Amino acid sequence: MRYQMPHYPCDFEIPDDWLSAAGMIGFVAADSAYRSTAAAILIPLAAIEPVYRFTAHPKDWRGFDRARLISIFEGFVAGSEIEPVPLLELPDMDFRRAPYRYRVLNGFHRFYASIAAGFDHLPGLP
């Protein structure tokens, strides 16, 4: 299935069999973000710089690791607590990043999985 990036003119794809294996078929996000720790701050996905995927990187599908992505999706479906994504707050003077305020430091799969799940925020630790 293909998903549109927020605030960025491109999309990405996740294999349907991965979504099915994780129980994501028919999943509807009930909240604005996945359940995370109390320390997490909800950051709009549209305020986060799109994470560049190395599609030729030796993963299972266009830069995605199947087991990792399915595990995250299963956590979404079960309502499990998933750790927040470490984010870097970008300086205001960096005109090249507009309209983005944050950059993902570690959490590539959680970022993309959140978009695919229909969340509009990402639990983060700026």
Per-residue pLDDT of the chain (126 residues; tens, 9 = 90+): 999 988 778 888 999 999 999 999 999 999 999 999 999 999 999 999 888 766 556 666 677 899 999 999 999 999 999 999 999 998 876 555 567 889 999 999 999 999 999 999 999 998
> Pairing relation of β-strands 41-44 and 85-89?
unpaired
Token pair, residue 20, equals 């099915």
Residue 60 has what pLDDT? Answer: 67
Give the three-state DSSP class for 73: helix
Domain extents for the chain? 2-125
Note the pLDDT tens digit of each residue in 35-57.
999 999 999 999 998 887 665 56
Q: Which pLDDT score, from 0 to 100, does residue 36 have?
A: 98
> pTM above the 0.85 mark?
yes
Q: Which residues pair with 87 in a beta bridge?
A: 104
Q: What's the pLDDT score for residue 31? A: 97
Average pLDDT for the chain = 89
Other CB atoms within 10 A of residue 83 CB: 15
- Please name the fold of domain 2-125: 3.90.1530
Phi, psi dihedral angles at 104 (to 5 degrees): -75, 130
The whole-number pLDDT of residue 7 equals 74
Core vs surface per residue 85-99: b (16+ CB within 10 A) or e: bebeebeeeeeeeee
Q: What is the pLDDT of residue 68?
A: 95
C-alpha span between 31 and 29 (Å, rounded): 6
